[in-house]
Structure 1
């Protein structure tokens, strides 16, 4: 199924002994990776800032908000849009263009983020809530496009980086950007609330939402100057019929494992917020505290993610993404079991400092493991011609896992009955157990990923297609579509022979 044997050895040797495609200057390569991957900052920002916005809407509109249906789905509707965007743009990034797909998703994200911030009503708050929800769905579509087009483009662009650093740069401009987006999604409402002295609630939530349009606007300008990744130029199936039957035979099992691990990770992540609420409840009264206090501590909680993703990025180059993910979730499971077992002691107001530290370690290990590496694995375990769709499906299943988790975990909490301790422990017994399962799935079901995995996968897949009668000469962009992403003589992409 995975092309084992003499044929694989031949492909691997060819990929590793051939010169690195288009060895560019470090700065130009870095800009390409950043332009493709950094848009995921918007995912973190927009999905986190909505929590603060909902808090403000509840204060501003009181009983009207409580009786509206929007309180049930305004925060989650972007998940639905994201799944749609991941699937649609996964196809577009393979059959149309990596960079054009990115530009389109950025435009969608920019327009509907601005519309969300500008939502208004004429004496009908319910109408405003409904239109905001509609805009949030389209915001989700824009975010979804960043995954298959952006992350895949970033992975392909890292092929131009120095070996031994490629996974690090990918992580810094994908998952690390998401985590910083979460931090700023909490920090910006804090700053705006402080500037408004906890008054002018409409100004606070509109400004907080509107600032979310600034980053994609800057990124949109940069993306107009970035060319298609060279791997896409040479191995694209844009003008070729995609042999989906062969693709499923070759990558089906691997896609299943990647998708399942991503589902489990996002499914479990919901329970992590339980301890966040416990920490905050021991620090201040959340019902009466000023907005600056609530948003300030929310920023502190989100900062817990940063050490894990940034310090863990080089680990993925040193150990490889497969072992980094498995090691991270295993350690996270150990900490999670400890936190669940010692909940009675840790959840006391006098222990809030120790609780926060252990909780921070728990979150950091989650970023070092699956947070950093699941997207990396999805982006590098498939051939270029179908990489966007492969990644989009895996990412969409992950988001579905997050959505399912939001509905399932309340039942797990409820299983604890009247015991506050059991209600807090059960989700983490489940989550930590799933961490162990993820480690097993990764170690048993996925291959090791090296610095040249993308080149190796393309070589293996081409040989597999040829062995099954597929004409690989039709792969690649046609003459006139290929563009030299570096100056002539510095590794410009070579069109496929049939394009001439």
Structure 2
């Protein structure tokens, strides 16, 4: 029964019913009233891009006296996405041996990811079983609180080890707050787009989710460069705190909007918060689809982190061994800028009738795999100082394609391929698996390079043969997903209700007390001009 429903996701949905579901809110709300919840729910992912993510690869420490020196100093050979990358570099410069010889070097960057996975799973549950609004508001408070504490980290008596331990602890809890942005914020954003005009819903979702993350990458690179130039490299103790402190402002600016939020109309109507959750039926109905979405997200993050070594080579060839810190940070502005054309283009293509999220994701990840194979094959030639300009261009295309396809659309797919009642947990699990893929990619990269031994060419390109192959696997998996139309959220809700009813579950208790119990059964007259106006 489950497989039959999954393979034909539109058979059970009544077209008239779906149209009525989306029409009520558009009739009663004005243009801004329909758009600002999308912004309030989704834009918090800017904090993830600014405070959390770091994609980098550094050359291993040269411990063998006979080994050749690294091509560039540690300060100049990392791709830094998110402010913690530059902060990590500053802390290493300030505290030198205390930092390098401690676990903090890895933990400051990675511990937030662990917290994010916890937050995704925890807030995935609370956003389904309690409230989208208050789960999101709570995660925002957590982000503000621990971003502030992280900025003010201090060791007793000025002890560097105490400072670093405090920073690691604060960033773990910061990650929990950021994790809540995915199942509560992104899911609420997707549900709120259902109140916007057809043909624009995917665009607005992407603009206030993945585009926010990529914009934060770009802004954080600018902030780090400007702050270091203003303070000077002799005052990095002030610079790293300023960089982290600026990250408090984005979630703080959303706090009032999130307090004023109402639960999305779809959640009011379809929530399981006041009903017994039919776990076994949910698993039977969605296990296959969730597995596919999670694996695609895993592969995307796995590949994205593995390919970071190319930026390493670019910076090493450009900067040389004596470059100051600000130049390394400034080049990261250009590298992070490459994300922007891809994510903006993908936002509009995903709404084209002839494309949609599924095709856009498939084409983007397949093209990225092709470019990855080309870069791996040409690595011996690209990875030379005289060819660095061509390297930058090809690498920029690669980054743009990653955001055009999976970067923009994997979250959209995760938020629209399941029913509202379990969307937070569904999305949270898929996103958590993606973050685990990022960890796996980083460790796999190191293992592949070590396995190459002294063969520098093999160490440089083998990871990309692996990651590009996985990109084609992901493209094939996309074909197993259902078509995603403008009204897919409503279609999924109708199909899921019909499935539950067919299996003996009482759906009369679904929805919140404030939900209109008649919107799926009562005819609603919508003026023709309403559908033509607004967003």
TM-score interval (norm. to shorter): over 0.9
Are residues 1:359 and 2:361 paired? no
Question: Shift of residue 490 of structure 1?
Answer: 11
Q: Give RMSD over aligned pairs.
A: 1.9
* Deviation per residue, 1:243-283 (Å, 9 max, x gap): 01000111110001001111111111111210001111111
**Whole-Å separation in 2 of the counterparts to 1:375 and 1:131:** 32
Out of 118, 125, 129, the residue aligned to residue 164 of structure 2 is 129
- Classify 1:447/1:97 alpha carbon distance in 2 versus 1 (closer, same or farther; 3 Å): same
Hey, what does 2:230 align to over in structure 1? 195
Contact 1:81 1:141 in 2 (8 A): yes
Are residues 1:153 and 2:158 paired? no
The runs of 4+ residues in structure 1 deviating greater than 3 Å are 4-8, 14-17, 479-482
Hey, what does 1:495 align to over in structure 2? none
Q: How does 1:159-174 map to 2 (within 5 A)?
A: 159-174=194-209
TM-score, length-normalised on structure 1? Answer: 0.94
- Classify 1:456/1:406 alpha carbon distance in 2 versus 1 (closer, same or farther; 3 Å): same
Contact 1:21 1:230 in 2 (8 A): no
TM-score, length-normalised on structure 2? Answer: 0.88
Q: Secondary structure at the match of 1:321?
A: helix
- Classify 1:263/1:6 alpha carbon distance in 2 versus 1 (closer, same or farther; 3 Å): closer
**Whole-Å separation in 1 of the counterparts to 2:438 and 2:220:** 19
Residues 18-27 or 217-226, more deviating: 18-27
**Whole-Å separation in 1 of the counterparts to 2:260 and 2:402:** 35
**Whole-Å separation in 1 of the counterparts to 2:388 and 2:98:** 36
Question: Shift of residue 462 of structure 1?
Answer: 0.4
Contact 1:186 1:298 in 2 (8 A): yes
Hey, what does 1:384 align to over in structure 2? 420
- Classify 1:214/1:490 alpha carbon distance in 2 versus 1 (closer, same or farther; 3 Å): farther
Question: Shift of residue 17 of structure 1?
Answer: 4.0
Q: Secondary structure at the match of 1:184?
A: helix
Question: Shift of residue 419 of structure 1?
Answer: 1.7
Contact 1:11 1:459 in 2 (8 A): yes
**Whole-Å separation in 2 of the counterparts to 1:193 and 1:17:** 54
**Whole-Å separation in 2 of the counterparts to 1:247 and 1:106:** 29
Are residues 1:57 and 2:91 paired? yes
Out of 456, 472, 475, the residue aligned to residue 436 of structure 1 is 472
Hey, what does 1:494 align to over in structure 2? none
**Whole-Å separation in 2 of the counterparts to 1:181 and 1:5:** 38
Q: Secondary structure at the match of 2:350?
A: helix
Unaligned runs of 5+ in 1: 483-488, 492-500
**Whole-Å separation in 2 of the counterparts to 1:161 and 1:436:** 34
Hey, what does 1:373 align to over in structure 2? 409
**Whole-Å separation in 1 of the counterparts to 2:458 and 2:525:** 62
Out of 7, 26, 37, the residue aligned to residue 31 of structure 2 is 26
Contact 1:20 1:159 in 2 (8 A): no
Out of 302, 306, 309, the residue aligned to residue 343 of structure 2 is 309
- Classify 1:304/1:7 alpha carbon distance in 2 versus 1 (closer, same or farther; 3 Å): closer
**Whole-Å separation in 2 of the counterparts to 1:10 and 1:112:** 46
Out of 449, 456, 479, the residue aligned to residue 420 of structure 1 is 456
Q: Secondary structure at the match of 2:322?
A: coil
Are residues 1:453 and 2:453 paired? no
Contact 2:268 2:514 in 1 (8 A): no
**Whole-Å separation in 1 of the counterparts to 2:158 and 2:115:** 28
Hey, what does 2:13 align to over in structure 1? 11
Question: Shift of residue 221 of structure 1?
Answer: 1.5
